[in-house]
Amino acid sequence: DVKVTQSSRYLVKRTGEKVFLECVQDMDHENMFWYRQDPGLGLRLIYFSYDVKMKEKGDIPEGYSVSREKKERFSLILESASTNQTSMYLCASSSGQGHTDTQYFGPGTRLTVL
Amino acid sequence: GQNIDQPTEMTATEGAIVQINCTYQTSGFNGLFWYQQHAGEAPTFLSYNVLDGLEEKGRFSSFLSRSKGYSYLLLKELQMKDSASYLCAGMDSNYQLIWGAGTKLIIKP
């Protein structure tokens, strides 16, 4: 079974803090994604990566950056957290063998910015 | 613009059948996904349709009509554990997923 893990289930930070969210997958997947999920809205793509050291902006990259130094690990960074970044953050991975391959999700990190 | 529409909430009875509809507008089309998400948990893959018709997988079936921009997820013999949100997502010409807001399904005994 594919396993995607995220470093924290719940996180509370203060405005202006730098925040790191870590995601690790154990299936040698090429593709990794970061989404945020807010009530009443669909998942929104923040950034994705098709290979080590590669990153692409999604629909809402502002205020975020990412890092993929190793194939299995994809980090989301909030340079200076703001209250409007309070959300559920979901990481996903897919094999990359086909364009339409299934995305597998981690359990999510619920971030609260005070 | 790109858009996925699905009902916000539905209620059904244990043992019954429920159909969750989804309409989509995407720039190009490379398939339609359904995911299940229990409260506080990760979305998990249920089905993928790219051709018209019905795909059956146990108690769950998914239907697609490309000409109508329409899909539905059919759940039979409902069980209490089926209480969850069901997310519809269309894949556009860039192979990016466009997500609906999800349908919260409440199952009553």
**What is the residue-averaged pLDDT of chain A?**
94
**What is the residue-averaged pLDDT of chain B?**
95
The per-residue DSSP string of A19-87 comes to: EEEEEEESS--SEEEEEEE-TTS--EEEEEESSTT--EE-S--TTEEEEEEETTEEEEEESS--GGG-E
- pLDDT (0 to 100) of residue B82: 98
> Residue B90: is its pLDDT beyond 80?
yes
Residue in A90, A102, A104 closest to B48 by CB = A102
Chain B residue nearest residue A91, CA to CA: B42
Chain A residue nearest residue B3, CA to CA: A42
Chain A positions touching B48 (Cβ under 8 A) are 100, 102
